[in-house]
């Protein structure tokens, strides 16, 4: 194997396109168009809210919600949504419109031991589908993922959704009926017909085993449900599992303003081999680019405190999928969205 | 290898001592005596504050501080300490005593790009040792670890501390003088004479690459500085790297009250194979005990949402060190300390 290298770049530079064209790019991810401001609103684009306090600027929350068709709350996350909308109502002088009525989730899923009775009743009265699944062998995150894939792909589930709205739990067994229905769907389709894109809020932070469990869900999704794209948005970071073997990460937003999106909205980043050792074969566009660099948490060789130095895109090639976090500034993002 | 097993236990049970005695226990960690309420206050017991907002109940903060001899702030963490003590002053009617004057750190270390001028001046005037280290090849966390080990072990460093207080940076090169001095110490001692115990606040949470970098520091410490015990305390968890090959984790606090420490103060836990696969050879005392269980984030087999079911201790045996988080309730802990 070629020698390992670490190359310190200028703080800002333009990639050499003749070099960039030689890369075997198998995936392209655009931070702005694919995650923060999805423009091609697909039928199964989903926002999944997990049980952490929501701190997003309202303009950001609104954009994320409106550019996605399906809105799912995991159990106690429903309380967080309810509280957040109450706070925004008070803070933003939204007048007579009750924000809770406008931002109604489509589904509430989980073992329902955390959602309060009042909040559950509120959404029940407004026709939100509340699906109880008790099984202790799957965390609420997993139950939500399966619900999202069923909703996008299962004729049986959609039949129940149309015809069983009056029945408790849509007539689905409250212990593991949803999980069984998903297994059934998987038996019928080795490849699901409808792709889904999921952005999860509240996946990281809080109890540390839950944070790591969320990271596990990134790997689970890639392995078991390749029809799903799963990314996380926290108060500080965008977090994704960068696919191995050649990914171009773009962060231009085609803005006509003079301000540069990357400079104003994005901060540091890290390439984090959380699941296993990863060899970073090549990066191009980072402040500290690396070549043939074995990276692992046990060895202490982890590229943290790095950042995008190229003005609009960078290339990452590794022998295995690797977790990446990209710091962003929520208030600056709000300014961009408001423009 | 024997078959893998997962055994669901009663919610509370007493371990069978005849079984427990057969275990080859190489390490014993007591959550109460070793971490939350250290009773044997050693010369080099240290509290290390990293750059996250401090949210601990004051009685907990006070106990952690007073049961440790050395107090270190990493760069911007100094602002956090200063702000926290100001808040506590206002909240707790502490009268004429200025809490900032009472809880003065011994050292402030880092590249000092985050500490504000006012805060730096405040501590400078009160004789706190402020050590600037610019090197971009080590994060502030690493610089603090090396300072802590030097302070406990290096005659040269202690000589400068005694005789160079008037010189800027104790006369130590502000780029990488401290790091060089540590390398020198390591060359002189393959084993450092003075053990140190470090509890770090603010290591987890905030930017995700910094969280993972902190986990890397747990592995670094075990590998490079086995004379150091490093644990983290967050707003929700105690986090440690459980040594492989047989560890007994105890959580009895010898309380004479009727309340049971484990029941009131501790919540869920997780065994988190961050960075690589770990085989959990045997656990005994958890709600879901496991035997010969290969655990990895990539495979999705991670024991999260587990908890201590045994009343006072549990045993963990694995083929490699494994990160463990133990949820605790800060307000309940405050009640215990106040008793």
Over residues B244-300, the pLDDT tens digits come to 989 999 997 665 554 578 889 999 999 999 989 999 999 999 999 999 999 999 999
Interface touch B304/A205, C-beta < 8 Å = no
Residue A230 shares a structural domain with residue A260: no
Q: What is the pLDDT of residue B91?
A: 80
Residue of A nearest to B269 (CA): A209
Instruction: Write out the residue range of the structural domain in which residue A83 sits.
Output: 40-236
Residue A192 shares a structural domain with residue A51: yes
Output the domain CATH number for residue B338. Answer: 2.60.120.320
Interface touch B207/A268, C-beta < 8 Å = yes
Nearest Cβ partner for B239 among A208, A215, A296: A208
Alpha-carbon distance of B281 to B316, in angstroms, equals 8
Residue A313 shares a structural domain with residue A174: no
* pLDDT-wise least confident of B182-191, B225-234, B252-261, B278-287: B252-261
Residue B13 shares a structural domain with residue B99: no
Cα separations in angstroms, A210 against A140, A179, B52, B308 = 11, 20, 20, 17
Chain B interface, best mutation among A113, A209, A303, A318, by max B CB count within 10 A: A209
Q: Which residues of A touch B290 (CB under 8 A)?
A: none
Mean pLDDT of all residues belonging to chain B: 93
Domain final position from A196, A214, A236: A236
Q: Which residues of A touch B298 (CB under 8 A)?
A: 219, 223, 275-276
Q: Tell whether A212 lies on the interface with B, counting CB pairs under 8 A.
A: yes
B278's CB contacts (< 8 A; 6+ apart) are B271, B294, B295, B296, B318, B319, B320, B321, B322
Judged on CB neighbours under 10 Å (0-12, 13-18, 19+), A72 is buried
Domain final position from B236, B262, B277: B236
User: What is the predicted ipTM?
Assistant: 0.95
Alpha-carbon distance of A280 to A297, in angstroms, equals 13
Q: Tell whether A296 lies on the interface with B, counting CB pairs under 8 A.
A: yes
Q: Which residues of A touch B239 (CB under 8 A)?
A: 208
Q: What is the pLDDT of residue B94?
A: 66
Residue B251 shares a structural domain with residue B229: no
Residues of B numbered 94-133 whose beta carbons fall under 8 angstroms of chain A's beta carbons: which are they? none
Interface touch A304/B206, C-beta < 8 Å = no
Q: Tell whether A277 lies on the interface with B, counting CB pairs under 8 A.
A: yes
User: Which residues are paired to B237 by β-bridges?
Assistant: B327
Q: Tell whether A139 lies on the interface with B, counting CB pairs under 8 A.
A: yes
Ranges of residues in chain A with a pLDDT under 50 are 258
Judged on CB neighbours under 10 Å (0-12, 13-18, 19+), B47 is buried
Residue B60 shares a structural domain with residue B201: yes
Query: Would A32 be classed as within a structural domain?
Result: no
Confidence of residue B60 (pLDDT cuts 50, 70, 90): very high
**Phi then psi dihedrals of residue A289, to 5 deg:** -80, 150
Q: Tell whether B268 lies on the interface with A, counting CB pairs under 8 A.
A: yes
Query: Would A91 be classed as within a structural domain?
Result: yes
Q: Which residues of A touch B277 (CB under 8 A)?
A: 276
Domain final position from A236, A252, A269: A236
Q: Which helix (H) or strand (E) element contains residue A288? A: strand A288-295
Q: What is the pLDDT of residue B1?
A: 61
Q: Which residues of A touch B237 (CB under 8 A)?
A: 207-208
Residue A95 shares a structural domain with residue A157: yes
B272–chain A nearest CA distance, Å:
7
Q: How many CB pairs under 8 A join A and B?
A: 126
More confident residue, B94 or B317: B317
Domain count, chain A: 2
Q: What is the pLDDT of residue B233?
A: 98
Residue A192 shares a structural domain with residue A335: no
Alpha-carbon distance of A73 to A115, in angstroms, equals 10
**Phi then psi dihedrals of residue A262, to 5 deg:** -60, -45
Residue A173 shares a structural domain with residue A291: no
Residue A311 shares a structural domain with residue A165: no
Residue A256 shares a structural domain with residue A293: yes
Residues of A numbered 40-69 whose beta carbons fall under 8 angstroms of chain B's beta carbons: which are they? none
Residue A214 shares a structural domain with residue A85: yes
Q: Tell whether B8 lies on the interface with A, counting CB pairs under 8 A.
A: no
A314–chain B nearest CA distance, Å:
18
Asked if residue B217 lies in contact with residue B70, where contact means CB atoms within 8 angstroms, the answer is no
Output the domain CATH number for residue B189. Answer: 3.40.50.10240
């Amino acid at each position: 194997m070629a020698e390992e290298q670490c190359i310190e770049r200028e703080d800002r530079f333009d990639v050499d396109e003749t070099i960039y064209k030689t890369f075997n790019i198998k995936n392209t991810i655009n931070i702005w168009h694919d995650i923060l401001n999805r423009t091609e609103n697909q039928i199964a684009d989903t926002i999944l809210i997990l049980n952490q306090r929501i701190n997003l600027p309202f303009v950001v929350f609104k954009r994320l919600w409106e550019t996605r068709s399906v809105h799912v709350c995991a159990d106690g996350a429903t309380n967080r949504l309810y509280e957040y909308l109450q706070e925004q109502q008070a803070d933003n002088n939204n007048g007579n419109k009750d924000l809770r009525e406008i931002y109604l989730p489509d589904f509430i899923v989980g073992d329902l031991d955390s959602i309060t009775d009042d909040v559950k009743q509120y959404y029940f009265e407004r026709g939100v589908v509340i699906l109880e699944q008790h099984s202790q062998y799957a965390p609420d995150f997993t139950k939500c993922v399966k619900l999202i894939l069923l909703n996008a792909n299962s004729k049986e589930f959609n039949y129940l959704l149309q015809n069983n709205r009056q029945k408790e739990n849509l007539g689905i067994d409250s212990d593991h009926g949803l999980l069984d229905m998903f297994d059934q769907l998987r038996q019928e389709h080795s490849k699901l017909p409808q792709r889904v894109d999921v952005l999860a809020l509240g996946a990281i932070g809080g109890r540390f085993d839950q944070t790591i469990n969320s990271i596990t869900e990134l790997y689970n999704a890639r392995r078991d449900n390749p029809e799903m794209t799963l990314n996380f948005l926290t108060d500080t970071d965008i977090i994704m599992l960068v696919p191995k073997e050649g990914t171009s990460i773009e962060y231009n937003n085609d803005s006509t303003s003079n301000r540069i999106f990357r400079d104003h909205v994005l901060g540091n980043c890290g390439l984090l081999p959380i699941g296993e050792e990863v060899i970073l074969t090549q990066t191009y566009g980072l402040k500290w680019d690396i070549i043939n660099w074995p990276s692992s948490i046990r060895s202490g060789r982890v590229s943290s405190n790095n950042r995008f130095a190229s003005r609009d895109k960078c290339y990452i090639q590794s022998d295995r999928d690797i977790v990446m976090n990209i710091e962003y500034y929520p208030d600056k993002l709000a300014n961009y969205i408001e423009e």
